[in-house]
């Protein structure tokens, strides 16, 4: 009797283990989550669309897009290991490397920065602007982009009077109030300034520079390369959607997900977004040279040191 009971118990245990094994085999593995730190700007529109259309889940990855109000807060989260990657720029990656934070560029984004003159500045072209004041953030992409635009137009870095104003909203308000003559602003701040009567004098992209990038820590690349590749596949799908779909069909996604004010509904203009690729090494080398001249990174830093390999 005892043997019979033991045999039955063993049989039940084996059946339970077999059922558990089958259930485990039937379950899909949990997709990797990528935590990406961003700030509101036009270049995160593909990410907003990706989440809205669930393109990340379609590719088998989960995008955790974390929006920060300042680069300082974003970088603190990256330093603390709370992020796998960030939307940043050439100069930002140089600064990360100089601080001992191994962050590598794995793609480009389509963030533009518009050079604007205030409505009461009397400036309508860059040729009118000699000695005029411009609000910038010092030793950042904004200053590099300004120097690049000036160089392309044949002017020196001292052509304008630079005034350091760290916060973008403060720069916009100073342009509105006439406290400064010019400003270099990303979207959506640039469009807000234009609706107030600011005059566009040029932009980083029209000058031929595309310095905005997506980047991941080397530890994320080592541990989540497959997930990052899936993320970029979803990114490219989102780019196709944005480029081939009337904005009216997803304008609320842009407003809610990329920080465009509701008041701009019906007036938002988007660029043609590019699918993901690595930046040109020669262009990146110029940015490194500028950063090293400013003491932001060693002169020995090379583009190869800044580019990530996803295998």
3-state DSSP percent of the chain in helix, strand and coil, to 5: 50, 20, 35
Could you give the domains of the chain? 32-111+211-305 (3.40.190.10), 113-207 (3.40.190.10)
Q: Which tens digits make up the pLDDT trace of 53-77?
A: 999 999 999 999 999 988 889 999 9
- Residues 140, 90 contacting (CB under 8 angstroms): no
| Per-residue pLDDT at 15 exceeds 70 | no
Q: pLDDT confidence of 9, banded at 50, 70, 90? A: very low
| Strand (E) or helix (H) holding 229 | helix 218-244
pLDDT at 285 over 70: yes
Task: For residue 44, give the DSSP letter.
Answer: G
Residue with tokens 């104003």: 165
Is the four-CA dihedral 166, 167, 170, 175 of positive or negative sign? Answer: positive
Which band of pLDDT confidence, cut at 50, 70 and 90, is reported for residue 22?
A: very low
Detail the DSSP E strand segments found in the chain.
32-38, 61-67, 85-89, 103-108, 113-117, 133-136, 161-164, 182-186, 199-203, 212-217
- With a CB cutoff of 8 Å and minimum separation 6, the contacts of 243 are 272, 273
CA distance 232 to 88: 16
Structure tokens at 297: 């990174």
Model pTM score: 0.86
DSSP 60: T
Please enumerate in sequence order all residues whose Cβ is within 8 A of that of 132, keeping only pairs 6 or more positions apart, or say none: 117, 121, 123, 160, 161, 181, 182
């Amino acid at each position: 009797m005892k043997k019979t009971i033991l045999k039955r118990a063993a049989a039940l245990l084996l059946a339970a283990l077999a059922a558990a094994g089958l259930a485990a085999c039937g379950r899909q593995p949990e997709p990797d989550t990528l935590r990406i730190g961003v700030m509101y700007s036009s270049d995160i529109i593909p990410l907003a669309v990706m989440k809205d259309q669930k393109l990340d889940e379609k590719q088998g990855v989960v995008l955790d897009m974390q929006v920060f109000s300042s680069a300082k807060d974003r970088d603190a989260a990256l330093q603390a290991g709370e992020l796998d990657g960030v939307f940043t720029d050439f100069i930002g990656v140089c600064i990360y490397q100089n601080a001992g934070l191994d962050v590598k560029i794995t793609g480009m984004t389509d963030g533009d920065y518009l050079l604007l003159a205030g409505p009461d500045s009397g400036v309508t072209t860059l040729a009118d602007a000699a000695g005029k004041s411009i609000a910038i953030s010092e030793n950042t992409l904004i200053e590099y982009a300004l120097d690049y635009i000036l160089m392309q137009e044949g002017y020196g870095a001292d052509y304008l009077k630079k005034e350091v104003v760290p916060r973008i909203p403060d720069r916009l308000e100073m342009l509105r109030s006439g406290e400064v003559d010019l400003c270099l602003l990303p979207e959506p701040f640039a469009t807000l300034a234009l609706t107030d009567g600011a005059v566009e004098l040029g932009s980083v992209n029209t000058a031929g520079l595309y310095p905005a990038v997506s980047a991941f820590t080397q530890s994320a690349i080592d541990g989540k390369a497959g997930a990052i590749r899936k993320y970029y596949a979803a990114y490219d799908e989102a780019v196709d959607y944005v480029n081939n779909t009337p904005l009216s069909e997803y304008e609320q996604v842009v407003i809610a997900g990329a920080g465009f004010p509701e008041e701009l509904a019906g007036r938002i203009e988007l660029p043609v977004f590019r699918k993901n690729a690595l930046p040109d090494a020669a262009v990146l080398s110029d940015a490194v040279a500028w950063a090293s001249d400013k003491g932001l990174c060693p002169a020995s830093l090379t583009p190869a040191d800044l580019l990530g390999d996803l295998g």
